[in-house]
A and B are shown apart, each in its own frame.
Chain A
């Protein structure tokens, strides 16, 4: 399976919440979906927390990627 991206997880989360709100799921299914929603929400929140402060980078003509600092 493809690696789960933040965007796809967030989209899935929204979809599940809408499904739950539509109300045409039975309780067993709803609980299953709810559990999935919670794990997706956690996945998304974690992504927001973990990767804080990515370093800005610059690519050289030779294809080398270096740290890039803007002059203050």
Chain B
């Protein structure tokens, strides 16, 4: 028997070539659960994919793994796309994963997060874009399924609290593939109806059940609506994208109805309160005016109208007194002036005026006398003349000249005996 022994590497090579040449194994789509997950430092991912009965090794190289939208973990259900090949060194076949995404809930969760981030960035959740919910609506549109607890809760709550409000239901599919389009259609219809508020509701359910409220077209329809929208989807713990975009988020459908309308009792109390306040105020105001009026009425003048004259009389007296006093003052002033004038020295002694003048005259005469050139002769001086001219020097005077000398009493003619220079 001719036995041809092969090396291990040869057989593994052979098997690998068989597998690689199979067109089906070149592109396979698998679903399974991740286990034994290992994230290699160089970025390659190594794990096992399994279902209830079987398992397969998997590797995802860094070049593919870098585009992964999530961090894989043991226990995650995933959908993968890749090729099957053999690893020569261990002789084991494995799947080389090129694409991987979360299956089911996990996938929905990622989508939810992605859409939430996107819409938030666009500003669809911004508080400043939220419309104000009218406090006292008269017409409300409800978008929800026509059967089930949600519609019953919403309608009975509104009826109980605020029965005067008109409610119109826009029946919509709230579950399944067509739900999102149906919700958008009814939202747009209701928005044209001029409601004060629209309630968008759905009862509790799984994340898949509520999924229509996480759809982008629903979110955008809510954002674009002109009517204020209250969302009440699922239970208190469920936060859908619709809740974030809505103008007001209620924890449940019943909660949405409670937020949409006040209770008749509250409004009645409010109105009564206004009436009480208005009454109290007007009463206070009238009272105040009344008190003021009473005070005026009780005033001395109004009670004793004659006193008005008394005051005037008094004032008149005062004025007359003043007048008299002023007149008297004037007269006495003039009298004083007159007295001062009449009692003046000059008028009393008119002669003094003449006396004065006489004294002055005498004085003048004396001074004139003093100034008389002849006056000096009295004192013994003489005036010497020659030919009627007063001689002041010896010029023209010679020995033998005849000169006239005038004395105080009498005069004499003399001959010059000697002339001295």
Number of residues of chain A lying within 8 A (CB) of chain B: 35
A51 at the interface (CB under 8 A from B): yes
Instruction: Known A48-B268, A58-B146, A70-B156; judge A41-B281 contact (CB<8 A).
Output: no
Contact with A along B166-202 (1 / 0, CB 8 A): 1111110000000000000000010000000000000
Instruction: Known A30-B285, A68-B169; judge A17-B136 contact (CB<8 A).
Output: no
A58, B169: Cβ atoms closer than 8 Å = yes
Among B278, B286, B289, which residue has its beta carbon within 8 angstroms of that of A16? B278
A71: nearest chain-B partner, CB-CB: B147
A38 to chain B, nearest CB (A): 7
Neighbouring B residues of A44 by C-beta, 8 Å: 267, 271
CA distance A6 to B286 in the complex (A): 30
User: Interface on chain A toward B: helix, strand, loop, or mixed SS?
Assistant: helix
Contact with B along A9-26 (1 / 0, CB 8 A): 010011011001101000
B165, A34: Cβ atoms closer than 8 Å = no
B136, A7: Cβ atoms closer than 8 Å = yes
B153: nearest chain-A partner, CB-CB: A70
CA distance A71 to B152 in the complex (A): 8
CA distance A47 to B165 in the complex (A): 11
B361 at the interface (CB under 8 A from A): no
Contact with A along B274-310 (1 / 0, CB 8 A): 1101100110011001000000000000000000000
CA distance A45 to B275 in the complex (A): 11
B147, A57: Cβ atoms closer than 8 Å = no
A45: nearest chain-B partner, CB-CB: B271
A59, B168: Cβ atoms closer than 8 Å = yes
Contact with A along B239-282 (1 / 0, CB 8 A): 00000000000000000000000001001101100110110011
CA distance A30 to B282 in the complex (A): 7
Contact with A along B30-57 (1 / 0, CB 8 A): 0000000000000000000000000000
Interface CB pairs A-B, < 8 A, 29 = A6-B136, A7-B136, A10-B271, A13-B274, A16-B278, A17-B277, A17-B281, A20-B282, A27-B285, A27-B286, A30-B281, A34-B278, A37-B274, A38-B278, A41-B271, A41-B275, A44-B267, A48-B267, A48-B271, A51-B163, A54-B159, A54-B163, A56-B159, A57-B169, A58-B146, A59-B168, A68-B146, A68-B169, A70-B151
